[in-house]
Amino acid sequence: MPDCQRCGGCCAWSETWPVLMGPRDGEGIPDDLIDFDNERMQSHGHRCAALDGVIGTRVGCDVYDKRPLVCREFQSGSDDCLMVRRELGLERA
Ligand code: SF4
Ligand code: SF4
């Protein structure tokens, strides 16, 4: 199973991915990390603003306990996970 703490690929895949599913999703996340206009996490390029560390080496989520539902449901080792890792060249991370 891929190690999310070394990877971080899905958190840097697309700015449109970490969406908020309703007003209570992501409750408690600081306002400056949320893109309220588009109802998703704020990003820097494709990278979620809450992602800390170096992709493919060591990463962490600054709002892990409050992260959106889509982040909670994304499964390490799933087809989508493996596709992201392949596309970003993180297969060995
Ligand atoms: S792409 Fe997969 S292994 Fe990488 S952080 Fe996301 S779920 Fe974890
Ligand atoms: S909120 Fe956390 S888990 Fe979700 S995309 Fe951002 S860094 Fe990744």
First vs last C-alpha separation in the chain: 11
Decide if 64 is inside a domain.
yes
Residues 31 and 20 sit within 8 Å (Cβ to Cβ): no
Q: What is the CA radius of gyration of the chain?
A: 13
Q: Starting from the CA of residue 40, give the closest ligand.
A: 2
Decide if 4 is inside a domain.
no
Decide if 3 is inside a domain.
no
* CA-nearest residue, atom 8 of ligand 2: 11
Decide if 80 is inside a domain.
yes
Is the whole model's pTM more than 0.85, yes or no? yes
Split into its structural domains, the chain has a count of: 1
Decide if 37 is inside a domain.
yes
Residues 45 and 15 sit within 8 Å (Cβ to Cβ): yes
Q: What is the pLDDT of residues 21-80, one digit of tens each?
A: 998 999 999 999 999 999 999 999 999 999 999 999 999 999 999 999 999 999 999 999
Distance (angstroms) between ligand 1 centre and the Cα of 4 equals: 5
The residue range of the domain holding 57 is 9-87
Between 92 and 54, the higher pLDDT residue: 54
